[in-house]
């Protein structure tokens, strides 16, 4: 019985010590009052699926290529700059590719990006694999997965995931086109 009473007193004392530390002057997150913290706790993530195609615009240099991403969601449609940060052979037919990408939402041309004519910006990191049909083949498949965050404008604070796939069969008709699909996630406050 004494053990239960002692445990209760310790628990009560611990709670009493905890409550004064949770005032607005000593919030869990600095520069954030208790009401803001409650709003953070009352939020949920809303995913939105998208799909589209990505076609080349211009080779801007050795490691930078610009593309145009057209999707069924305008928040991930625009000019994208792709930079390779790594190209590593895995075996005779497979190469690992890594890099970064910036997508300038609403831009249609590289000139739009240069002159600031875009409504938002994504920054993405990605990793993929290019696999040839055989060591002598010119046909290949690329599958790359990316994750990114909106860093400017209308996409600021959003996060997204992308999957890009290219099946090149060696003919001009198959071209250098990526098919993309993914998910944008936004955090919204829940009303209770």
Most confident of 20-24, 63-67, 159-163, 169-173: 159-163
**Does 33 share its domain with 62?**
no
Fill in the DSSP letter of residue 49. Answer: E
Structure confidence by residue, pLDDT tens digits, 71-126: 999 999 999 999 999 999 999 999 999 999 999 999 999 999 999 999 999 999 99
Closest by CA position to 67, among listed 25, 8, 31, 109: 109
Domain containing 16: what range? Answer: 2-37
Is the pTM here over 0.85, yes or no?
no
User: Two tokens at 153?
Assistant: 């404008």
Q: Are residues 157 and 106 in the same domain?
A: yes
Show the tokens assigned to 46: 């809303």
Q: Tell me, yes or no, whether 134 and 160 share the same domain.
A: yes
DSSP characters over 101-165: EEEEET--SHHHHHTT--SEEEEEEEEEEEEESSTT-S-EEEEEEEEEEEEEETTTT-EEEEEEE
Average model confidence (pLDDT) across the chain = 80
How many domains does the chain fold into? 2
- Is residue 108 within 8 Å of 68, Cβ to Cβ? yes
What would the pLDDT profile of 38-75 be if each residue is shown by its tens digit?
A: 445 566 788 899 999 999 987 665 567 899 999 999 99
Question: Do 121 and 163 belong to one domain?
Answer: yes
pLDDT in tens, 18-40: 334 444 444 444 555 545 444 45
The tokens of 37 are what? Answer: 């913290």
| pLDDT for position 135 | 87
Together in a domain, 157 and 128: yes
Question: Are the CB atoms for 151 and 121 separated by under 8 Å?
Answer: yes
Contact status, residue 164 vs residue 180, Cβ threshold 8 Å: yes
Residue pair 154/75 in contact by the 8 Å Cβ criterion: yes
Q: Are residues 85 and 139 in the same domain?
A: yes
Clarify whether residues 28 and 97 are in a common domain.
no
Between the CA of residue 154 and those of 33, 78, 104, 108, 109, what are the distances in Å?
26, 13, 11, 16, 19
């Amino acid at each position: 019985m004494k053990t239960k009473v002692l445990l209760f007193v310790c628990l009560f004392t611990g709670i009493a010590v905890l409550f004064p530390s949770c005032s607005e002057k000593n919030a869990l997150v600095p520069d954030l009052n208790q009401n803001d913290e409650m709003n953070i706790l009352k939020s949920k993530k809303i995913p939105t699926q998208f799909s589209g195609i990505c076609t080349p615009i211009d080779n801007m240099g050795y490691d930078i290529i610009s593309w145009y991403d057209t999707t069924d969601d305008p928040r991930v449609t625009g000019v994208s700059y792709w930079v390779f940060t790594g190209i590593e052979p895995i075996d005779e037919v497979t190469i690992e590719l890594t890099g970064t990408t910036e997508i300038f939402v609403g831009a249609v041309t590289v000139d739009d990006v240069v002159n600031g004519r875009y409504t938002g910006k994504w920054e993405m990191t990605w990793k993929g694999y290019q696999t040839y049909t055989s060591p002598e083949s010119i046909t290949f498949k690329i599958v790359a997965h990316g994750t990114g965050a909106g860093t400017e404008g209308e996409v600021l604070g959003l996060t997204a995931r992308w999957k890009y796939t290219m099946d090149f069969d060696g003919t001009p008709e198959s071209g250098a086109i990526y098919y993309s699909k993914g998910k944008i996630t936004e955090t919204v406050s829940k009303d209770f």
